Structure formats: C-alpha cells, structure tokens
A = this chain, B = another copy of it.
Amino acid sequence: MTITVPATPTGSLGHAWRECVGTGRANLSLRHDFVVSAALAHDVIGFRHIRGHGLFSDDMGVLRESGGVRRYGFTYLDQVCDTYLGAGMRPVLELGFTPGLLASGTQTVFWWKGNITPPRDLGEWTGLVTAALRHLIARYGAAEVRGWPVEVWNEPNLATFWDADQATYFRLYDATARAVKAVDAALTVGGPATAPDAPEWVRAFGEHVLADDVPCDIITTHAYASGPAQHIPFGVYQTLRPPSHLLEQFALPRGLYAGTPLAGLPHWVTEFNTSYRPDNPIHDTAYNACYLAPVLAGGGAAADAFSYWTLCDVFEEENIPTALFHGGFGLLARHQLRKPTWHLYAFMARLGDEVLARGEDHLVTRHADGRLGLLAWQPLGGSAEGPYGSAPASHRLRLRLPVGACPRAAIVRHRVNEHAGNAWTLWRELGRPASPDSRTMELLYDAAEPAVEHRAADVDADGTLLLDLTLERHEITLVEVVPVVPTHHEGLDDTRLLGHEPSDDEGRR
C-alpha cells in the first residue's frame, strides 16, 4: 500500500518535542562532562529549557549557617544557570528538595540524599524562594527570568518524594506560588509535577487552586511507560505499555481540566521516558528510540512540552555508574557517546517546519527551501508484541512524495537500528568494557555514527517521487529529499574519467 503525501501542509512541527529536557540534580550541572553534553545538545538538537532536581538541596549551598549566622549562598545556583544559558537553555526552576536547615525531618530520596520532608516553617521556605528569585532577577533581568517556569516540588503524589500528604503539598504550593508572584507577578508558577497514573491528584490540584484562587500559570505532570522493576545486581528489567499510552498520559490534564478556567493553561510534561529506572538497559537500545519515535512525532498535539528524562548519563540517583553503558536515562552516554534515542532527537531537529503527513510509521515535513525531511520508524507495541516484545525483522513503507517541478531529486537516508548508529551493540561485542580506554572509545564513536545512504532519482512528470523504504528491526530512519537542478558543465563526460562505469547514470549529467 502506498501512501500519497499531499503537497499542502497540514500543520506546523512546532517545538513541544524540544521545549524541554531533563537532567540530573542541579549540582551535577557543574560537571565538565555535563557542560560538554549541553553544548553538543545545543548545536544538534536545540532544547529550549532544562529541568533537574535539587536546586535547594544542601550540595547547592543555598542556605548556610556559621557562628550562629545564616546566609543565603547563590554561588552554585548562579553557575548552574550560567551553564544552562550558555548552552542556549533556560532553567525550569523545580523548587526542592528541602535544605537541611529548614527540614522537618531527615527522610531522604536517592543515593545523593535529597531531603523529602516538608519545610518546618513555610515562612523560612518562602524566604528562601523569595531571596533566590530576587537574586536571579537582579543577575539576569526580569525579562529573562519570566521565561523560566517555576515548578513546586517533584512528584508529591509519591511517598518516595514527599514525606507528607496531599493537603501539606497544597499548603506548600500555595505559599510558594504566592511568594513567587509577590516577587514579580509576571513570573510563571505551577504544579503539581505528579508522577504518572495520578489523575485524582491532578484533578484535586486543579480544584484546589481554583477553589482557593491560588496562582497557577502552568500545569506539569510526568509520564512513563514501564511496569514493575525486576532487579538484578546493578540493573533492572521491565515491561512497557505501548507508546500510545505515553501520548494518553500527555493528554491527561487537558481532559481533566476541560471546561474549567484551567483549560487554557500551558501543559508541560516535565518528565517522560520509557522506563523510570536509571539502570534499565532499555535506555541504551535502538528499541527505545524506535518505540519513542511516534511519541516525539505526535506528542505536540497532546502537550505544550514533553521533556525527555534525561539529556546525559551524568546522573547519580541510583549511585555512581560502574560501567559506560548501565541503562542510564541519558540521550548521551558518558564521554558524549550518542545513543540511538539521541539520533531520534537529532533526526527530529533536521525536519522542516511544515508537516505534510503524519502516520503510524512516518512523519513527512518540508523546509522553507523546498527540501523534504521524513522520519520513518518501525511501529512497536511495547510488551504486547511476541516473546520479549520483539518486532518483525523488517518493516516496509511506501510513500509518494510531492517533490515539485524538478527533473531529479537527491535522496539521503540516515539509519539507526540494532546495528547502525548503535555503539551499544559494538560495546556488547567488545565484551562490555566498564571504562574503555581512548582507543576503544574511538571505535565506539565510529559505531555510533548513523549509516548514510544516498542516491539520485528521476522525479515523475507530476512532480512526485515514490519512496519505497525497508527498515530493519527497531530502525528509525531520516530521509532528506532534495530537488535537484543540475549545473551545466560544458564538455563534462564522466565516461571519460578513469574507473567510470557506464551504468552510473550521474555521468550523463
């Protein structure tokens, strides 16, 4: 079956897919390898915001006491913000966790011990919030900071992250949101930053802010597709629900708030991924990229932003990784080694802004200069598929593309699958070296490069071209179609060039 792609756009690609990306705790953004990852992401993908936990955790030094005197300290906060802005990204100010000096208890989350107990005194807490925001505005200007969404806490619906009940969260939210607006009414504040599968929480949050007239400018929630963790040492395996489930989670608040005054608010999915575990090898695979392709292609219809968790493997929630590949969330492994899902984002970034067609295995776009950019993938169903959720060995799709009035087109294809653009596969072949030396890294960098194919083709008289693509298992493919007007070169005759084959049709031109 051949799908005919219309020449008239059906919409705009937009930026929801790269509006935001996640990262490890704020202090890790001070790391050199993070800085390099962020610069690479800026050049290749162009994320617009970034969000991590722990802005107020003790390793950020925002509140210190010495000789009975307390002092706010924004040394590291400034460095973190400088780093983000230097990489072209604005921070999402996720406020948390509780500084030890303000905490009501000692309960913590993660290896790095984020304090998850409510502030002992909301006045002390809002004092910190107020001081931090005023400092940031003094340093970066109000116009800039107004573009930084403020999010109150992280996943308060989980006991892992919030050692208190919903009512206590709402009190925290209210005090914080009001303090934010008191600093500058044009700042953007929101929540509830809930973990997945919590529609009642999201609904209750909406009812609460409406009932009490609490400031709320943005709704934030999280989305993951994975089932329970099956542990092995230093790792877990999990099942996955189908990709459509992620899109449904993206769309949840719009459904819940339809018809209320909250209906028009921006909705950001401030975390999403397949698995919520930082040690599930799925994140390192082509399967992950292929599974998420329809989510990136279609998510913009469901949310204003959806933020991949996370940019890179500079991350320590479970502890310090002992091996190069360890199932980390990152688009980039350590040493800037690109994973298949990085390529998914890089492919998206090379698409045009006009959307011509979107289907279950493809997204066709056009650039302002007439080039077509096409993303294709093998549709995956998560665990619903055969044993181990495996997919067929290949997937074929045929598209009739509108190239326009042009005799020829050049077609360039980039492939990522179980073999191509897949350093993880080579790493396994190399015996899974924990900390590869520079010579081995060189091989891995080579293997991480997507395979490239190219050819020229005649455009049909009606200005269309039939593209017949066969994808390998778990493949994502980027195809760029360039209308070609050959340059005239008098006397040129490739058949006179040594080594020419008469069948090379380019020689005629």
Contact = CB atoms under 8 A, between A and B. Distances in A.
So how many copies of this chain end up in the complex? Answer: 4
Interface in A61-119: 61, 64, 66-69, 71-76, 78-79, 83
Contacts of A210: none
Interface in A439-498: 439-440, 443, 446-447, 449, 451-456, 473-474, 480, 482, 484-487, 489-498
A104 to B, nearest CB: 22
Given A74-B435, A75-B434, A499 B446 contact: no
Q: Is the interface of A mostly helix, strand, loop or mixed?
A: mixed
Contacts of A230: 496
Contacts of A321: 61, 73, 75
Contacts of A306: none
B410 A61 contact: no
Interface residues of A, number: 113
Interface stretch (A4-12, A166-174, A181-189, A384-392): A384-392
Contacts of A33: 30, 79
A417 to B, nearest CB: 11
A382 interface: yes
Interface in A380-403: 380, 382-383, 387-391
B72 A446 contact: no
Contact of A454 (B66, B334, B425, B437): B425
A200 interface: no
Contact of A73 (B79, B408, B434, B449): B434
A23 interface: no
A59 interface: yes
B139 A437 contact: yes
A432 interface: yes
A2 interface: no
A281 interface: yes
A232 interface: yes
B414 A323 contact: no
A393 to B, nearest CB: 8
Contact of A509 (B72, B320, B428): B428
A453 B286 CA distance: 16
A304 to B, nearest CB: 28
A323 B497 CA distance: 18
A160 interface: no
A319 interface: yes
A212 interface: no
Interface string A233-251: 1110111100000000000
A482 B444 CA distance: 12
Contacts of A433: 487
A426 B443 contact: no
A460 B501 CA distance: 40
A37 to B, nearest CB: 11
A449 to B, nearest CB: 6
Given A369-B439, A506-B425, A497 B75 contact: no
Interface string A179-221: 0000000000000000000000000000000000000000000
A35 interface: yes
Given A446-B412, A498-B240, A431 B484 contact: yes
A475 B434 CA distance: 34
A31 interface: yes
A439 B484 contact: no
21 contacts: A30-B33, A31-B31, A32-B83, A60-B320, A64-B320, A75-B321, A135-B435, A232-B493, A237-B497, A240-B498, A285-B497, A387-B502, A388-B496, A410-B443, A412-B447, A429-B456, A429-B506, A430-B456, A430-B482, A431-B486, A451-B451
8 pairs of A and B residues whose beta carbons are closest in the complex: A61-B320, A232-B491, A287-B499, A67-B233, A73-B322, A431-B486, A429-B456, A69-B233
Interface of A: 30-35, 59-61, 64, 66-69, 71-76, 78-79, 83, 135, 138-139, 230-235, 237-240, 281-282, 285-287, 319-324, 334, 367, 369, 371, 380, 382-383, 387-391, 408, 410, 412, 414, 418-419, 425-426, 428-435, 437, 439-440, 443, 446-447, 449, 451-456, 473-474, 480, 482, 484-487, 489-502, 504, 506, 509
Given A235-B489, A434-B487, A451-B452, 5 more contacts: A59-B320, A235-B491, A388-B501, A412-B426, A449-B452
